[in-house]
Amino acid sequence: MAYPEEFLRGISAPNHIVDGLPTIEIFPFPQARPVQRPDDCIEESINWHDDEQSMDELFDRRKEDDTPKFRVGLAVFDRHEIDKLCNAPHAKDRLFYERQALQGNTYHGNLLLKKDLPQSIKHLIRAGIVLSFKELVSPDDHALKSKRTRDSILHQAWDFLIRFLSSVGFLGTYTRGFLLRVWAKMKSP
């Protein structure tokens, strides 16, 4: 199976970020999990960064009180660095990953860590995962980028419509000018 270059982890607790960097607390791999896996692993959810909608999916999640689940943001990690870690002596045959789509989230996957590892090895592997960190995306940064992307797509569609209608002779000078004024008003705050 082909995996994208990056994966994402939502961050809900401010103490999981120190000086703009994630700490190992964002991947706790606790022993007690309600789901028992046949491969004897503990899982931590991630989203595979297939496209920008994978970020949207994380930022759109809500808690029961309708507040954002990942109010701190999300961390972007390099899968190639995880591949190297999976082959390192401390993590070989102990750390894995998978894609496991869920209903409503086709981007979902898991980092998998063998259960019953000595705590010291577990900490080393968790630290190795965090060292593959690339970028922290805040909700505000994501909202701004999403708005710019939507505006750019809308602008391209509008421009295409005007050029198309002009090319088929549908738009006279007056109509074209009117549509450009409407577009300018739509773009202004």
Domain residue ranges in the chain: 6-137, 142-187
pLDDT score of 158:
65
Greatest alpha-carbon span in the chain: 76
Contact 9, 74 (CB under 8 A): yes
pLDDT category at 31 given cuts 50, 70, 90 is confident
What's the Rg (C-alpha) of the chain? 22
Give the integer Cα–Cα distance in Å for 42 and 113.
Answer: 5
Q: Which of 99-113, 124-138, 154-168 has the lowest mean pLDDT?
A: 154-168
Is the pTM value of this prediction over 0.85? no
Mean pLDDT of the chain: 85
Dihedral in degrees, nearest 10, Cα atoms 172, 173, 174, 179:
90
Question: Look-up: residue for tokens 């209608």?
Answer: 165
Cα(73)–Cα(77) distance, rounded to whole angstroms?
13
Q: Taking residues 48-76, what's their average pLDDT?
A: 91
Q: What is the β-pairing status of strands 95-99 and 41-48?
A: unpaired
Alpha carbon distance 179, 189 (integer Å): 18
Task: Name the token pair of 184.
Answer: 């300018």
Mean pLDDT for 51-70 is: 90
| pLDDT score recorded for residue 77 | 97
**How much is the pLDDT for 186?**
63
**Angle CA(131)–CA(24)–CA(7) in degrees, nearest 5?**
55
- Specify the pLDDT at position 138: 87
